[in-house]
Structure 1
């Protein structure tokens, strides 16, 4: 496989126009071609398909790295960068099990782009929407395959303990901001979309629900949208709210204490309770926002334990699969894995 790829890059790839792989159709044609090559090389060399796919991905990474080095350590983009996405698609198609190789592929993608939106956006919006958002079309065939690919790369990124630095911030793979969505985190975009299925996947893998430079806590954005429906709440939004509340110890509202200075409130005043009742009183009355999660009553000990256990698992890159290793009943494993409340 290595000899074939060297010949391909030296004799064939050089004849492809620089923008020759910009179209999804051209990339898919090349993916099909390499699928055939991988099958043939695996049989001819008496190797497994997985080992042959690993050789292909390594060859693509070496080629991309060499081109980048020759250009002053700057990616040439065009067909040279698109080869990484062909490697990404083949790694998924063949369910490549080598964690180090897949991690190296993700690292190379981030080094060039600073985002993983081409893995996330197709799963969130489907195959067509990314073209209008970012000017490219997903390399995966449909939304179902995009979701499967997202889980595949989430699994590898977690097992490889991948983290990425942007300025003073360190992100896990699952939390790297999406450039085409105003640098919002994937979980924030999913919540704004009301995509409960994708939200469940992200939360199980430990996506952080926090305020960022984009706006306040994403859960507040759900509550603000629910207020607009005059108590006729959409099912998807309600589901997103319930799932989000399972993943955080309690709701922390944004409080402008300066606007309340004239009230001369005591130092230990419960501002969270005030916001919950004044701003989201109807949602509390309708039992969509539990009183134990918004400062009206103490948080349940069981829920606090769940959040603490998940935090420890997250710190050790063990979400969600480390839950299965815990010596506890199945019902508690489901509870910690956010399946039940």
Structure 2
């Protein structure tokens, strides 16, 4: 495989037009070609398909890095960068098990783009929508395959303990901002879309429901949208709200204390309760948010324990699969994994 790939890159790939892999169908043709090469090399060398796929991904990374080094450590983009997406698709197609190789591929993608939107957007919007958002089409066949690919790379990124620095902030794969969505976090985009299926995946893997480049509190955006429906709430939006409330200790509403100065309230006054009742009274009356999660009553100890245990597992890169290593009943494992409430 190594000799073949060296020959291919030196004699064939370098002669391709720089923009020859910009079209999705061209990348797919090359993926099919390399699928045949991997199968042939595996049989000819009496190795597993997984080993042959690993060798291909390593060869692609080596070639990309060599070209980048010769260009002053700046990616040449065009076909040189699209080669990484061909490697990405092959790694998924063959369910590549080598965690280090997949981690190296993700590192290289982030170093060039500072985002993983070409993995996330297809799962969130489908295969065609990213073209209107970012000018490219997903390398995966349909939305279902995009979701499977997202889980595949989430699993590898978690197992490899991957984190990336951007200024003074550190991001994990699941929280890296999406450039084409105004640098919003994936979980915020999913919440705004009302895509509860994808939201469940992100939350199980420990997506942070915190402030980002867009605004302070993604849950408030759900509550504000629900207020617009005059108590005829969309199912998907309600589901998103309930899922996010499983993953957070309680609502943390934005409070402008200056607006209440004229009331001369005590220092320990429960502003969260007041804001919740004033802004979202109908939602509370309709029991879409538990009274124990918005300051009206104390938070349940069981729920606080869930949030604390999940946070410890997240810190150790053990979400969600580390839950099932705990010596506790299956009902509690499902509760910790956000499957039950």
TM-score (norm 2): 1.00
- What residue is the counterpart of 1:12 in the other structure? 12
SS at 1:72 equivalent: coil
Q: Distance in 1 between matches of 2:134 and 2:195?
A: 20
Q: Distance in 1 between matches of 2:194 and 2:73?
A: 40
- What residue is the counterpart of 1:179 in the other structure? 179
1:300 and 2:335 correspond: no
Shift, 1:211, TM fit: 1.7
- What residue is the counterpart of 2:151 in the other structure? 151
- What residue is the counterpart of 2:66 in the other structure? 66
- What residue is the counterpart of 1:285 in the other structure? 285
After the TM superposition, list the runs of 4 or more consecutive aligned residues in structure 1 that deviate by more than 6 angstroms: none
- What residue is the counterpart of 2:57 in the other structure? 57
- What residue is the counterpart of 2:89 in the other structure? 89
SS at 1:267 equivalent: coil
Shift, 1:315, TM fit: 0.3
* Count of residues in Structure 1 that have an aligned counterpart in Structure 2: 341
- What residue is the counterpart of 2:2 in the other structure? 2
Shift, 1:213, TM fit: 2.8
Shift, 1:311, TM fit: 0.3
SS at 1:25 equivalent: helix
Shift, 1:15, TM fit: 1.4
Shift, 1:340, TM fit: 0.3
SS at 1:46 equivalent: coil
- What residue is the counterpart of 1:38 in the other structure? 38
1:208-223 alignment to 2 at 5 Å?
A: 208-223=208-223
Q: Distance in 2 between matches of 1:213 and 1:148?
A: 27
- What residue is the counterpart of 1:134 in the other structure? 134
When the two chains are superposed, the root-mean-square deviation of aligned CA atoms in Å is 0.4
Unpaired stretches in structure 1, ≥5 consecutive residues: none
Unpaired stretches in structure 2, ≥5 consecutive residues: none
SS at 2:327 equivalent: coil
- What residue is the counterpart of 2:162 in the other structure? 162
Q: Distance in 2 between matches of 1:114 and 1:333?
A: 35
1:190 and 2:190 correspond: yes
- What residue is the counterpart of 1:251 in the other structure? 251
Q: Distance in 2 between matches of 1:32 and 1:43?
A: 17
Q: Distance in 2 between matches of 1:7 and 1:16?
A: 14
Shift, 1:262, TM fit: 1.4
SS at 1:170 equivalent: strand
- What residue is the counterpart of 1:104 in the other structure? 104
Q: Distance in 2 between matches of 1:190 and 1:211?
A: 15
Q: Distance in 2 between matches of 1:258 and 1:27?
A: 57
TM-score (norm 1): 1.00
